[in-house]
Amino acid sequence: MFTQVVKRIKKLLLRSIVSKEAVHMILTGPPSSSKTVFLLHLLEGLDNAYFIDAVGASGAGMIDHLFKNNTKYLLIDEIDKMKKSDQAAMLNVMETGILSETKLHGKTRRKK
């Protein structure tokens, strides 16, 4: 039974990785259930992937990285530890597929 569930989860993950459409997933589980290890293995195996430990990250830093790089896979560990405003910024990118930023003096940047 357990091996069947694992096979189905692996198939789902593979389908989401190769999908042409944007797919967003959240991994949940108790501490020490290897979620971070899994993300780090994905980082090694995927082109254009970026790993962030959200404990020490800022939304502005993540957005700046996304503007400067061609990131296809954003792997965020400990997203629940981010500030709510930074979580909202990432959620907006996930919902719209548009990365936008407005700075002082009316300067804006936008990227699909």
pLDDT in tens, 54-64: 888 887 888 88
Note whether residue 2 is domain-resident: no
Note whether residue 61 is domain-resident: yes
Predicted confidence at residue 15, as pLDDT, reads 92
For residue 37, give its domain range.
24-111
CA distances, 18 to each of 22, 34, 37, 77, 110 (Å): 10, 23, 21, 21, 25
Note whether residue 15 is domain-resident: no
pLDDT in tens, 97-107: 888 877 777 77
Asked if residue 71 lies in contact with residue 65, where contact means CB atoms within 8 angstroms, the answer is yes
- Give the chain's domain count: 1
CA distances, 20 to each of 15, 16, 94, 96, 105 (Å): 10, 9, 15, 16, 37
Provide CB contacts within 8 A for 30, sequence distance 6+.
Answer: none
> Other C-beta atoms within 10 Å of 102: how many?
10
Note whether residue 44 is domain-resident: yes
Note whether residue 14 is domain-resident: no
Provide CB contacts within 8 A for 106, sequence distance 6+.
Answer: none
The verdict on pTM exceeding 0.85 is no
Note whether residue 17 is domain-resident: no
